[in-house]
Structure 1
Amino acid sequence: MPGLYLLAILLSSAGVAALDARFRLAWQPAPARTAAAVGIGTAFFLAWDAVGIATGVFVKGDSPLLLGIDLAPHLPLEEPVFLAFLCYLGLVVWGAARRRLARRRPEPAADGVARRDAEAP
């Protein structure tokens, strides 16, 4: 079924965006920085793909799941969409990891000394 791969990427992106909106991991705290990181990351990976295509390392396989629209030889329409999704997913995971690690840090006691548990002297 043509377009199924693109549909899967878009649905996955919607799921990641829902998590991002719910937990305010990337877009909400810094929309300009998030957009710039996704744009720069996508451009970097597209340049990487271009080098791979030019050297013959990357070739487009035949799949009935692709739309069949090529932006360049061996570069299907789905590729930049996937790369943008990959960059956005990385930012959301990074935001979640930072939040999780921040919760695990020991809080300083009243005397200013960090303690891991209440029984520490």
Structure 2
Amino acid sequence: MSVLYLLVLLVSLGGMTVLDWRFRLFFWCSPLRAALVLGIGVLFFLLWDLAGIGLGIFYRGETTLMTGVQLAPELPLEEFFFLTFLCYLTMNLVQATRLVLARRAA
């Protein structure tokens, strides 16, 4: 049992937060809307994962890098943080692209 993968995900989430704060991309632009969008995104992908697990498409691979903590059968704790990171990264990229395009147009 290891927490290495979880730590990497948490550090990556921290990096996304710093970028968000520095450039006012997502949460620092509109906190309530950002929380709603992020929550819906993570919930969607968790439901997607649960559907895939139920259909036998997704399964948890064995690795020594993960904690071994399961949120549900075949759904590791790290998956929640990965999905949160994925959604946060996507929204930061969308907002950063909007800012860059707006500056080019000006």
TM-score (norm 2): 0.96
In structure 1, list runs of 5 or more residues that go unmatched.
108-121
Tell me the equivalent position of 2:91.
Answer: 91
Q: How many equivalent residue pairs?
A: 106
Q: Note if 1:42 corresponds to 2:42.
A: yes
Corresponding residue SS for 2:62: coil
Offset, 1:73: 0.8
Offset, 1:28: 1.2
User: Where in structure 1 do 4 or more consecutive aligned residues deviate above 2 Å?
Assistant: none
Offset, 1:2: 0.5
> Considering only aligned residues, what root-mean-square deviation do their CA atoms show, in Å?
1.0
In structure 2, list runs of 5 or more residues that go unmatched.
none
Tell me the equivalent position of 1:19.
Answer: 19
Q: Note if 1:82 corresponds to 2:69.
A: no
TM-score (norm 1): 0.85
Amino acid in structure 2 at the alignment position of 1:13: L
Larger relative contact order, structure 1 or 2 (CA cutoff 8 Å, min sep 6): 2
Higher helix share: 2
Q: Note if 1:56 corresponds to 2:56.
A: yes
Higher Cα Rg, which structure = 1
Percent pairwise identity: 50
